Amino acid sequence: MHILCDMDFKEGEILCFDKPLHWTSFLLVNRVRWAITNYLGVKKLKVGHAGTLDPLATGVMILCTGKATKRIDEFQYQTKEYEAVLKLGATTPSFDLEKEIDATYPTEHITEELLRNVLSDFVGEIRQVPPAYSAVKINGKRAYEYARKGDDVEINAKPLLIDSIELLEFSMPIVKIRVVCSKGTYIRALARDIGVALQSGAHLVGLRRTRVGDITLDKCMSFEDFKSMIDTLPATVN
């Protein structure tokens, strides 16, 4: 639990949150910034996150305030761990539930043994093409800006490192996996690639980031808890 009374938000603090479902990363940053600036009685304060999460994902999100924003890169490059739920046999343009299913595929041939073998092929150094619905920059614009207009653009594959993939649950057509990976890994794109490798299709139906470096979920707080704690702090004198 964070002891807010001992914190100096201007000098810089590291705050660890469990991002809520449907919130964008920027919404969490903005609400935390508003809560802190309101408490401090100031108009401006640097607050940034050390690695975005999609609105449909939950879990560990590290925020840095004040001078600690200089440490954002340090956290961004740390290993990430996710628990992902995939639905096999269907795809969507966004590779998750943001868009409707656009195609279905056979799954009768998929066994637990086949899935385990396919997952093992993704461990190690891989190259991954990010989703069209992503913030990857192409010619100065975000990929999702092209996708939302229906424009097709070429997105280059990026080198990544997958440290491990563990099958947690197998209940066709739903499977759950744990992924430990490097910065820049799109679990949505990994779901797509797993579907292709299975000679079927797949999309993400649930995603939770359970670790960033040494920061695990048990070290994170909800925004509601943070707001409640900051509301109980004594007023500051500027």
Q: What is the pLDDT of residues 176-211, one digit of tens each?
A: 999 999 988 999 999 999 999 999 999 999 999 999
Alpha-carbon distance 82 to 208, whole Å?
6
Which fold, 4-77+214-231?
Alpha-Beta Plaits (3.30.70)
Contact 190, 202 (CB under 8 A): no
- Predicted local distance difference test score (pLDDT) of residue 129: 87
Q: Is 54 a catalytic residue?
A: yes
- Predicted local distance difference test score (pLDDT) of residue 233: 76
- Predicted local distance difference test score (pLDDT) of residue 191: 97
Q: Which residues of the chain carry a pLDDT beneath 70?
A: 1-5, 134-135, 138, 143-144, 146-147, 235-238
- Predicted local distance difference test score (pLDDT) of residue 1: 41
Which own/partner pairs from 36-45 qualify as long-range (CB within 8 Å, at least 24 positions apart)? 36/9, 36/65, 36/230, 39/230, 39/233, 39/236, 40/9, 40/10, 40/236, 40/238, 41/236, 41/238, 42/238, 45/9, 45/10
The DSSP 8-state label assigned to residue 151 in this structure reads: -
- Predicted local distance difference test score (pLDDT) of residue 148: 74
Asked whether the domain spanning 80-212 has the same topology as the one spanning 4-77+214-231, the reply is: no
Q: Indicate the domain borders of the chain.
A: 4-77+214-231, 80-212
Catalytic residue among 18, 54, 96, 193: 54
Homologous superfamily, domain 80-212:
Pseudouridine synthase (3.30.2350.10)
- CA 98 to chain centroid: 14
Q: Residue holding tokens 């759950």?
A: 176
